[in-house]
Structure 1
Amino acid sequence: MMKRKSNIELLRIIAMVMIVGHHYAVHGVLHKLTGGGGYIEGSLPNKILVCLLEPGGTVGVAVFFMITGFFLISRKEASPQKVIEETIYYGIICALAGVGVKLLTHEEISWGNILKTATVSATNGGVWWFATAYVFLLMLVPYINKYATGCSLIEYKKMLTIIWIFPYSGDILFSGLYTSVSKAILFYLIGGFIRRFKERIKIPPKICLAILVGGWILNSAVSFLEYEGMIGKLGDIINESLFTCVTACALFILFCNLDLSNKYVNKISSTMYGVYLISDSIVLREFIWNNIWRVNLQYKQSNFALLAMISIVGTVVVCGLIDYTRILFIEPWLRKTIPPQNIYANKSSISNNNSRPSPHLPPKSLR
């Protein structure tokens, strides 16, 4: 039997580290969702580091959707069952943890958020936007694939261009209601494009690496100008519609060209969706970054870079270990109780065995 390769699984892990790094900056330093934060309190090197962490969220999420498209573009069916199950499971766990934190530490956690996290709204009520977009995407996969798999190279490029200009960039420009869904569809199709026409994509690794580094630096520079008050919200529009796309594509193509097989990488990658759900829960994330890691204090230190690295990696490791216990003890019981639907139908439809999808989505598996 051919060994399952780990290049895409390693990319999944790196993407999650990038996303957690982004959350470290957004929720720990910038406090974007709670009325602004202490960006101005840091030294210039610390400000630059925060801006270098910033692209990890949008690029990492794009990569996760691309991985989904890479694995599922030739499938006739896809079920959101396992994503919904895992999301609801962590909705309940995070809600219970939130109650404990609120009662024991008197942390200002909304009872409304706790209730919303504990119910089915964990999947469709704005608790985890990625989960909502991902479930919606999986429901659309059979219909998207029906057209995408019949496209020629030119037709596929035209389709990507139209989606990039109108629903994706247009939603970002005008703050549309469906930005997350259009993002999911666009990057799913880009991942599918790379899978279908991989042999025609001849970009040397050195060029991919140069584009990746250059795109990341430009993305960070635009964020720096935005946070310094020089360009306002225009920075988000430039980064999301341009630099995120370029950087994510370069990163993905770079890893597609790797030849790696490691069972430990595969096991670790299976916990990444759980890492996202735990670390970005609306009832726990402020507690994680402000009470456990005390990012506000770290940001004022001269060794901020080292403290940030420890906090980000530590969060991924601890949350990954928590999810691994779910995989070992909860998942087998759940499979006996609720038989899985045919999540990956028509398995013979993918001829390229570069990697094998897993039930831990996306696809096995992010704010």
Structure 2
Amino acid sequence: MQRQSNIELLRIISILMIVIHHVLVHGIYNAVNNSTLHFIDSFVIYGVNIFLLISGYFTINLKWKSVINLFWICSFWKLFHLFYETYIVKVPHSLFEWIAKPLAIPFSSGGWFVDIYILLLLLSPALNMALTRMNKKELSLTILLISIFNIVYCWGVGRENNTSGYSLYHFVYMYCIGFYLKSSSFSYKYPYFGIVICSIFTFILYLVLGGRAFSYNSPFVIIGAICIFTALNKVNIQSRIINITAQSVLSIYLLSDGGLFSKNMYQLYNEIIKTSANTVVGNLKIAGIVFGICIFAILLDRIRIIIFKKGIYPFSEYISYKYYHKIYHK
């Protein structure tokens, strides 16, 4: 099945939004914390929610190959960070760590997003079964009830331990909305206007509530993500370059936000802002470094993909064949 380049472009946009948000929060804010940067942040806070909407729109098809591939991506970048820390910044790691960390992906992928997404992946068969059995009215009622819990109870009232959307139930919530968008053919008439309005209201909320305005379960962050998804879903494009690049979006995330590598980069961004003649020059330098990191992740990921296609997946298929052959031919 040929990939839809508009959705693949949306994946790329979502990961770039996540990267920019992290650069701002973990890097630049530590040096210059002003309203202009928070205004920019209000336009890029949608990345995580967009990614979850895509998952729900197309539904996660839990297959052996996709599970092995996800674990291999996480393991590959665990190995990269171990290599960087051991041989570049000279932080020693024992042989046990070199073996255990890449194999501990189901329990610790190295980032909260992937940890929770793995849980969503494992939950997806039951979730898909429940959603497909609902009619439109039942699905609408379910989303309304989850909205009350996730937005009003968790984000609005703050009566849950995790009030910012860093949770499995928020992931399930966005997945359900994505499924609803597909099943109901729902779309905003003026999505670009919605994006601007949601971003402005997010910034206004920041001036009143502070960082809570950038929570993933904020109503404006949710609606803004839906607007962006709707806008790109209408675009009819087909590009091999976009499709190939989109294969590496998770790798970009795992490189740019993992281990000492990301901490060193954030410290570098901090120093660049502090030592630059003006903020514009500093931001341009940071943008160049971030672009270079993304290109590096995409190029290195081609090696990861080749290893998977030529080695890991055929080997896993062979082991699987031998196992079932042994079970059913005793």
State the TM-score, normalized to the length of structure 1: 0.74
Could you tell me which residue of structure 1 aligns to residue 25 of structure 2? 26
Partner Cα distance (2:105, 2:274) in 1: 31
C-alpha distance 341-211 of structure 1, shift in aligned 2 (>3 A): farther
Counterparts of residues 221-236 of structure 1 (less than 5 Å) = 221-223=204-206, 225=207, 231-232=209-210, 234-236=212-214
Q: 2:316 aligns with which of 322, 338, 341?
A: 338
- 1:8 paired to 2:1: no
- Bigger relative contact order, structure 1 or 2 (CA pairs below 8 A, ≥6 apart): 1
Structure 1 CA distance for aligned equivalents of residues 248 and 318 of structure 2: 19
State whether structure 2 residue 188 is matched by structure 1 residue 203. Answer: yes
* Matched AA of 1:7: N
Q: CA deviation at 1:161?
A: 1.6
Structure with a larger share of its residues in helix: 2
Q: Which residue of 1 aligns with 2:141?
A: 158
Give the match for residue 301 of structure 2: 323
Question: Quick check: 2:15–2:47 contact (8 Å CA) kept in 1?
Answer: yes
AA partner of residue 119 (structure 2):
F
Q: Match for residue 365 of structure 1?
A: none
Residues 22 and 54, structure 1, Cα contact 8 Å, conserved in 2: no
In the alignment, residue 108 of structure 2 is paired with which amino acid? Answer: G
RMSD, matched Cα: 3.2
Amino acid paired to 1:87: C
Whether 1:291 and 2:268 are equivalent positions in the alignment is: yes
- Aligned position for 1:34: none
Offset at residue 3 of structure 1 (A): 5.1
Give the one of 11, 34, 40 matched to 1:52: 40
CA contact (8 A) 1:76 1:145 kept: no
Q: Which residue of 1 aligns with 2:171?
A: 184
**C-alpha deviation, 1:236, in angstroms:** 4.3
Mapped to 1, the partners of 2:318 and 2:203 lie a distance apart of 42
Instruction: Provide the residue aligned with 1:352 in structure 2.
Output: none
Q: Match for residue 196 of structure 2?
A: 213
The answer to which of 309-318 and 19-28 deviates more is 309-318
CA distance in 2, matches of 1:116, 1:300: 45
Contact 1:94–1:281 under 8 Å retained in 2: yes
Percent identity of equivalent pairs:
21
Match of 1:65 among 43, 52, 57: 52
* SS of residue in 2 equivalent to 1:190: helix
d(CA) in 2 for partners of 1:315 and 1:279? 7
* Residues 151 and 218, structure 2, Cα contact 8 Å, conserved in 1: yes
Q: Looking at CA atoms only, which structure, 1 or 2, has the larger radius of gyration? A: 2
Name structure 1 gaps, 5 residues minimum: 31-36, 343-367
Q: Distance in 2 between matches of 1:13 and 1:278?
A: 15
Question: Any idea what SS the aligned residue of 1:91 has?
Answer: helix
8 A contact 1:69–1:191 mirrored in 2: yes
Matches of 1:258 and 1:280 in 2, distance apart?
A: 30
| Structure 1 stretch displaced more, 308-317 or 267-276 | 308-317
Post-superposition Cα deviations, 1:136-191, rounded to whole Å, max 9, x if no partner, equal: 00111111111111212221111112222214654442333984211211111111
SS of corresponding position for 1:259: coil
Pick from 257, 281, 287 the counterpart of residue 234 of structure 2: 257
